[in-house]
Structure 1
Amino acid sequence: VSQGEVVNLIHGHKSLDGAQEIVPGIYCGGERDAIRAVRDDQLTSSDFRFFAGCMVWQPGQLAEEIAGGGWISAASSRSLVLKQCLGLPTPLWKEAMELMGGEYGATARGVYGDTKP
């Protein structure tokens, strides 16, 4: 991560000071408490997901991009969003798309050269 780059932290721990619920059971923030909890062996680094960078949209721009097929909006479970994704036999993006089924599953299989339905 370069200096000045935005890093977001998501997790499932509402007890962290500064954590804000973004959807039921999933929280953003609480970095200082997260560092302390990992340092004190109360939590592990795998309890957190880090995202470097960010996207910024003008009002209405994201809705337009979704309508134009540039993004896919999907409901998801807490367990899938917070799933440890390092070393999985199937990439997490592919798993999520296959769970959506239909054209989304077919797209994911096509990207990875998997022809079985």
Structure 2
Amino acid sequence: MGNGDRSSPEGDNLKRNNSSDSNKSNDTASQKSPHINLDWREFRANLFAREQAEKSESDTQNQGGSTHESKPLGLKWAHPIPVPETGCVLVATAKLDGIRTFERTVVLLLRSGTRHPQEGPFGVVINRPLHKKIKHMKPTNHELATTFADCSLHFGGPLEASMFLLKTGQSKLPGFEEVIPGLCFGARNSLDEAAALVKKGVLKPQDFRFFVGYAGWQLDQLREEIESDYWYVAACSSDLICGATSDTSSESLWEEILQLMGGHYSELSRKPKQDM
């Protein structure tokens, strides 16, 4: 579970996917129209919120109650989606209670993957801070030991690889793969580029989150786990994902996302862990 037999998302694999023809065409389109696709997720979230409000209003009218105006979407939102997509989150269900690696975790899917055995979906757990800084691990890599020494470390998953997330604001950074608007990811092979951006003042060390390990699946494996109710699949706002930067806020992310999803999801967030 989350540790399928797949290759590391580092090195040539990451660069090869970044330089694919399809991504080149997408980049060209983005350059021509810088705002393209930046807010489609928010547009979908607004549609979902409107549908839920209309359903609630219809139910209220059927029961003879008074109607309420729907609330604006707000900066932090989350709603269920039917299938995984790049930038979505996998929220552990009660079925994973007692399974220490993934119990009450939130996995940010960095790539939704393909059917190719070496290109399955993968992501990082974003609500498991290790309460340690990189310097405490006595890294041998020069940039980790200097530029990023005071960055916090997080448990990213059971598979062996180092990953990092970086907040970019509204600008796109060449050489890094965008996950959702304002958030990119990189691996060990892009550390030097990341450090160069910090030294130039384009980014700050605080814009980075480093992860020990990651979670990966075969495409069908993840689909089966979702169909078996091990994971809820949700879309979340960039503010919700990027805002969980402190250890305390990231640890409460599982509850916060479920509450924002509403309904029976919200009820789960208040349930005590199942005894296994």
Shift of 1:66: 0.8
- Aligned partner of 2:222 among 55, 62, 65: 62
Q: Where do residues 27-42 of structure 1 align in structure 2 (5 Å cutoff)?
A: 27-29=184-186, 30-39=190-199, 42=202
Deviations 1:7-34 (A, max 9, x none): 2212232544421112343211143232
Query: How far 1:89 moved relative to its partner?
Result: 9.6
The residue that corresponds to 2:167 in the other structure is: 12
Q: Indicate the larger mover: 100-109 or 16-25.
A: 16-25
User: Amino acid of the residue matched to residue 72 of structure 1?
Assistant: Y
Larger CA Rg, structure 1 vs 2: 2
Identical pairs, percent: 34
Q: Distance in 1 between matches of 2:235 and 2:229?
A: 16
Structure 1 residues 89 and 10, CA gap change in structure 2 (3 angstroms)? closer
Instruction: List aligned pairs for 1:85-96, cutoff 5 A.
Output: 85-88=246-249, 91-96=252-257
Which amino acid is 2:270 matched to?
R
CA distance in 2 between counterparts of 1:31 and 1:72 reads 32
Q: Calculate the aligned-residue CA RMSD, in Å.
A: 3.1
Aligned-partner Cα distance in 2 for 1:6–1:82? 22
Q: TM-score, normalised by structure 2?
A: 0.35
Which structure features the higher share of strand residues?
2
Structure-2 separation of matches of 1:40 and 1:24: 22
Q: CA deviation at 1:90?
A: 7.0
Mapped contact 1:38–1:45 kept (Cα < 8 A): yes
Is 1:44 the counterpart of 2:204? The answer is: yes
Match of 2:179 in 1: 22
TM-score in terms of structure 1 length: 0.72
Q: Distance in 2 between matches of 1:93 and 1:85?
A: 14
Superimposed CA distance per residue, residues 32-55 of structure 1 (whole angstroms, 9 cap, x where no aligned partner): 232233455543333122232122
Gaps of 5+ in 1: 113-117
**How many residue pairs end up in the alignment?**
112
Q: Which has the higher contact order (CA 8 A, sep 6+)?
A: 2
Structure 2 residue aligned with 1:115: none
Name the residue aligned to 2:231: 71
Structure 2: 5+ residue stretches without partners = 1-136, 138-158
What whole-Å deviation, never above 9, does each CA across 1:48-85 have from its counterpart, x for those lacking one?
22232122222311011111111121001111111113
Question: Is contact 1:12–1:82 with CA below 8 Å preserved after alignment?
Answer: yes
> What is the distance in 2 between the residues matched to 1:99 and 1:49?
24
